[in-house]
Amino acid sequence: MKVNKHYQELEESYLFSTIAHKVADYQAAHPDADIIRLGIGDVTLPLAKSVVQALHEASDEQGRKETFHGYIPSEQGYPFLREAIQRYYAGRGVALDTAEIFISDGAKSDLGNLLDLFDADNTVLVPDPVYPVYVDDNVMAGRRITYMPASAENHFLPMPDENTKADIVYLCSPNNPTGATYTRSQLKVWVDWANAHDAVILFDAAYECFVSEEGLARSIYEVEGAKTCAIEVCSFSKIAGFTGTRCGYTIVPQALARDGMNLNKMWLRRQTTKFNGVAYIVQRAAAAVFSEDGMREIQQNLDYYRRNAAVIAAALDEAGVWYCGGKNSPYIWLECPAGMGSWQFFDWLLDTAHVVGTPGEGFGRCGEGYFRLTAFGDAERTKEAAARILAALKTLG
């Protein structure tokens, strides 16, 4: 028998597992250290009240014979949730057919699952630095991966040029890890490039809810022509704290065809075969996010995280450290001080301030020399972390 040898080409462990192990080792060696974790982008606020109420009500329904729900009638998701998502997009001027919306158990799963639609003999283009899942999914499948450097020079927003060649392109905006966010006109350039080159854009919109500035896109479908070249993947994790509840959605336009096949039909075929849908109670909870109360409560949570980002930014400003992000994104991407490498800064910050962040190099070679902090922490702990970071940076002179 033969196994998939491409697994040998992967890093020993997934970035956030490596960090978790490093921090656990440090804690074991320093049991008294009060470590603040601003590494992985996991939320800290509980689910909104209306979401919890929906979970309770749906659980009660599942406990009564007359309201019990068994297998989900459509693997694509319940109409009540798909219609709520349709209205959410319509509110931003994006018209979607509910047949284009597929409920998932989170963005990360579908970012990998979507690759079932494409031949292994395709070239994939990813930005560098990049959310490591895009790379690892394609390494596992044995696909060719090329990188487009994102740097301070291009404001961490790489654009295609006459030499750009790829079949599948990953774009994440607002970006994980850099927080950089494409304008609609920049995305239009990508969309025109993809349509002209027969390529497909996999657009990760997991952080769209953080966009607050005018002119920035929250969905690639705000751009004309995107429905013939882009699949959008989104999540309830960041907008509504579903990191432990698990729900997301993927939009595959009906107008998207490649190589003589319709990708919406292919995805429906794939999902009906390999997926039995997301739990009824979770879909009810997700739908509550879009209720009037849900939206209000969620905005309060997002504002809480935005204030955390401002607290971190203020400390970096005071220390004179360069950074970007934090405005339309929960991530702050900073330049490591004193010429430190990103893992070196990780160790230094853990040891000096007992604060955990994510080394930029973990997101790719171009991330070397940079470091990511998340604003998803508890507010008091974030203030404490910012004060410790500032005090530590001051010791560098």
The reply on whether position 181 binds ligand MLT by CB under 6 A is no
What's the min distance (Å) between Cβ of 220 and ligand MLT? 19
Distance (Å, whole) CA 345 – CA 191: 37
CB of 193 to ligand MLT, least distance (A): 26
User: Which of 86, 104, 173, 176 is the binder for ligand MLT (CB under 6 A)?
Assistant: 176
Q: How many residues bind ligand MLT (CB under 6 A)?
A: 6
Measured between alpha carbons, how far is 11 from 159 in angstroms, rounded to an integer? 28
Residue type, 20: A
Nearest distance in Å: CB 363, ligand MLT: 8
Options 39-47, 207-215, 276-284, 338-346: segment touching ligand MLT (CB under 6 A): 39-47
In the complex, what is the shortest distance from the CB of residue 119 to ligand MLT, in angstroms, rounded to a whole number?
26
Q: Of 391, 318, 333, 387, nearest to 363 (Cα)?
A: 333
* Stretch touching ligand MLT by CB under 6 A, among 6-14, 35-43, 188-196, 274-282: 35-43
Report the nearest approach of ligand MLT to the CB of residue 378 (Å): 16
Distance CA 179, CA 177 (A): 6
40 binds ligand MLT (CB under 6 A): yes
Q: List C-alpha distances in Å: 38 to 146, 304, 359, 371.
A: 30, 15, 11, 11
**Closest CA relative to residue 248, chosen from 204, 295, 187:** 204
Q: Rounded distance, CA 286 to CA 50, Å?
A: 10
Q: Judged by CB, which is closer to ligand MLT: 42, or 57?
A: 42
Of the pair 19, 157, the CB lying nearest ligand MLT is at: 19
**From 37, 108, 306, 354, residue interacting with ligand MLT (rule: CB under 6 A):** 108
Of 86 and 374, nearer to ligand MLT (C-beta) is 374
Closest CB 22 distance from ligand MLT, rounded Å: 15
Residue recorded with tokens 């508890």: 378
Q: Does 45 bind ligand MLT (CB under 6 A)?
A: no
14 vs 26 by CB, closer to ligand MLT: 14
- For residue 47, the 8-state DSSP code is P
Residue 78 or residue 236: which is nearer to ligand MLT going by CB?
236
- Cβ neighbours around 374 below 10 Å, total: 27
Least distance (Å) from ligand MLT to the CB of residue 87?
25
**Distance (Å, rounded) from C-alpha 363 to C-alpha 115?**
20
129 binding ligand MLT? (CB under 6 A) = no
In the structure encoding, which two tokens stand for residue 199, read together?
């390529």
Q: How far is the CB of 41 from ligand MLT (least distance, A)?
A: 3
Buried b (16+ CB within 10 A) or exposed e, 121-130: ebebbbbbbb
Quick check: 193 and 199 in contact, CB under 8 A?
Answer: yes
- Reduced DSSP (H G I as helix, E B as strand, rest coil) percent helix, strand, coil of the chain, to 5: 45, 15, 40
Nearer to ligand MLT, 193 or 371 (CB): 371
Nearer to ligand MLT, 76 or 176 (CB): 176
CB 269, min distance to ligand MLT, A: 27
Task: Give residue number: closest CB to ligand MLT.
Answer: 41
Residues 6+ apart with CB under 8 A from 159: 186, 189, 190
Q: Segment near ligand MLT (CB under 6 A), from 40-48, 67-75, 298-306, 313-321?
A: 40-48
Toward ligand MLT, which CB reaches closer, 42 or 192?
42
58 or 135: CB nearest ligand MLT: 135
Q: What is the DSSP string of 62-104?
A: HTSGGG---S-S-TT--HHHHHHHHHHHHTTT----GGGEEEE
CA distance 351 to 40: 18
Q: How many CB atoms lie within 10 A of CB 25?
A: 10
Closer to ligand MLT at the Cβ: 127 or 160? 127
Note whether 41 binds ligand MLT by CB under 6 A: yes
List alpha helices for 246-291, DSSP H.
263-274, 280-289
Q: Which is nearer to ligand MLT, 42 or 116 (CB)?
A: 42
Residues that bind ligand MLT (CB under 6 A): 40-42, 108, 131, 176
